[in-house]
Structure 1
């Protein structure tokens, strides 16, 4: 689990000046010193300070911000050691304040994905949530967690550096009941893992579904992701009807363009489908705390590999279908299929589908969702 006591490094510093250190000790010190974190104030939003955090492990670099819990950059090496940013991004953190329509890199809540009819019933009472997707609610309403300033705290351990962020969503925000206190740990490990852990508690019955909305492009964002290879460890989807609200069916995908149970070239599957992917894959049939590998993405030309792990029962697989002529970082203009999103989460519209794994949270309970993005290279 991510919450651990910070690593105390002062004794290593004192050992470093000792001439009698063994080689093995020197190696340990060098590995520890490769992990670093830097904070820089970059703006103010709604009266609160916004910071950019740069996490480094000697091999990868990740940039985060406490505005929206956003992952703004991930620099990962290819098989030749060349580091490039592999997520769609805006030029600088303040741009996210007003220009992040696609939710690039954002923490999504209080309810990720769609709620049909923009309403939920809890304990016999109906709550009307903000409509921001036709007649439905998408990604928490008009102002979800991805545009809130979270309270940040830096931490460092022997094997990771990160930022602990907290946000209190007050009773009635976007129509959701209950004061929901969420803590989000975001850390980079020495093993090239970007770990996210959400924990939430409430004082009133509510619904919770939290994820991250990073747009991955393992080719360094030099074009579309049709040349990526995708594997998703799921044998079914929850098909959608009007407004992409699930019908309630759990549908087998064997032998269809949705089938990524074995590695498939994404371009071939896109052509077979005839449209982009934006579907919930069933990675578990019920809620559990098991951290499960749910997907692998590879870019053969660069050798970059992304593995995705989650404790949630679903994975929203999205191929940036609606990102068109979008002004991104480094002078690039993003187009459809220039990235893919691997969004581990609960199933869409679960509050209105009694047969789906529950997303309800009661006082005295804790909602926990862990996500791990692990990066590697193949030669």
Structure 2
């Protein structure tokens, strides 16, 4: 175990072993801690958030992200808990796209479509720790090199994920990628949030959500965007004012809700793309915890945990059930390579892909 700590520093980083995969591959974990009661642990498997602990209104500290106790479980029953997902986060229709006149076939792993980079996407890969730093801001940078042709994607892609925590209770994630030939890239974080605590007896459907989105991208029955961009006005997707998630999550009069068994949709975030701006605010009335999601991405995938079916045993042998947690993925739009009217996902040599995400925590009395 290597520790980097100093009581004089605002935030500390600690690097430890986190067991092994079934084939013996060692997994490490880096824990970032500040002096305001927040800590976050990131493991090298999937560059994933394993735990994130923050205080509630009474100062009680809980882990508020879902996950497993051992790294092997993340491969045995993949739910993308906390993972850095890519090469292309979200879905690509039939796993096909055309770039510079050439059609590429990706791994199909979600019905007829490709999801989160394929069956062996970035979440299943062991990333390398490039740096671990303590100081006013504690951070860890992990990297992964995806070879040309992996899961069907063109180009050698070099990816980095930098997690940082300072004196404020904000987890900042910066994803960057470069390529040696034209390709597509869309990387995001897939943490599942239950602000009452990952082992709480209540789920996230009672939480109050605000989304700064006047439009969303409707989907077909396989959860692929139709290509349309529609107003949220008068629909179950209007979260422009604080609304309890569970209020309309079972509104079967909405075909869109029926398709996704709840919410699993991309929201077109208002404001300037490329500028870090507030996308969402989630408040848990029970604990008083508040989570704000900020990013410079054009879209935000909101998923209401519809496919947590009670068959998976998470941390502390806690059963995860439908609606126990929610996911917010700042991203490019799903299936973007197949919709010219969506923001482009193409990355060319000499360019750098970037996605900045901030998860800001506070409490309400």
- With normalisation by structure 2, the TM-score equals 0.92
Shift, 1:347, TM fit: 0.4
Higher mean displacement: 57-66 or 197-206: 57-66
Gaps of 5+ in 2: none
Q: Deviation per CA, 1:165-216, whole angstroms, max 9, x where unpaired?
A: 1101100000000001011101222101111001100011000000000000
CA separation in 1, counterparts of 2:161 and 2:347? 17
Structure 2 counterpart of 1:231, from 210, 226, 239: 210
1:302-313 aligned at under 5 Å gives the runs 302-313=287-298
CA separation in 2, counterparts of 1:40 and 1:94? 17
Shift, 1:39, TM fit: 1.1
Higher strand share: 2
CA separation in 2, counterparts of 1:34 and 1:84? 21
Given the alignment of the two structures, is residue 371 of structure 1 paired with residue 350 of structure 2, yes or no?
no
Distance change in 2, residues 1:40/1:94 (3 Å): farther
CA separation in 1, counterparts of 2:271 and 2:215? 10
Provide the residue aligned with 1:155 in structure 2. 132
Q: Deviation per CA, 1:8-67, whole angstroms, max 9, x where unpaired?
A: 99xxx8xxxxxxxxxxxxxxxx6x435211111223456753201121112111111011
Q: Deviation per CA, 1:80-102, whole angstroms, max 9, x where unpaired?
A: 00001111111133432x23421
SS in 2 for 1:33: coil
CA separation in 1, counterparts of 2:262 and 2:62? 26
- With normalisation by structure 1, the TM-score equals 0.88
Structure 1 counterpart of 2:61, from 59, 68, 83: 83
Q: Deviation per CA, 1:313-354, whole angstroms, max 9, x where unpaired?
A: 111100110011121111210100000001111100000001
Structure 1 counterpart of 2:330, from 344, 347, 350: 344
Structure 1 counterpart of 2:235, from 231, 256, 259: 256
CA separation in 1, counterparts of 2:277 and 2:294? 5
Structure 2 counterpart of 1:70, from 44, 48, 53: 48
Structure 1 counterpart of 2:38, from 60, 67, 84: 60
C-alpha contact 2:51 2:63 (8 A) present in aligned 1: yes
Gaps of 5+ in 1: 1-7, 14-29
Structure 1 counterpart of 2:11, from 28, 32, 35: 35
C-alpha contact 2:303 2:327 (8 A) present in aligned 1: yes
Structure 1 counterpart of 2:101, from 113, 124, 135: 124
Higher helix share: 1
Higher Cα Rg, which structure: 1
C-alpha contact 1:285 1:357 (8 A) present in aligned 2: no
Higher mean displacement: 228-237 or 56-65: 56-65
Provide the residue aligned with 1:315 in structure 2. 300
CA separation in 1, counterparts of 2:30 and 2:47? 11
Q: Deviation per CA, 1:269-309, whole angstroms, max 9, x where unpaired?
A: 224456411010001588x4211110000001211000000
Q: What do you get for the CA RMSD once the two structures are aligned?
A: 1.8
C-alpha contact 2:313 2:320 (8 A) present in aligned 1: yes
CA separation in 1, counterparts of 2:268 and 2:283? 21
CA separation in 2, counterparts of 1:116 and 1:242? 12
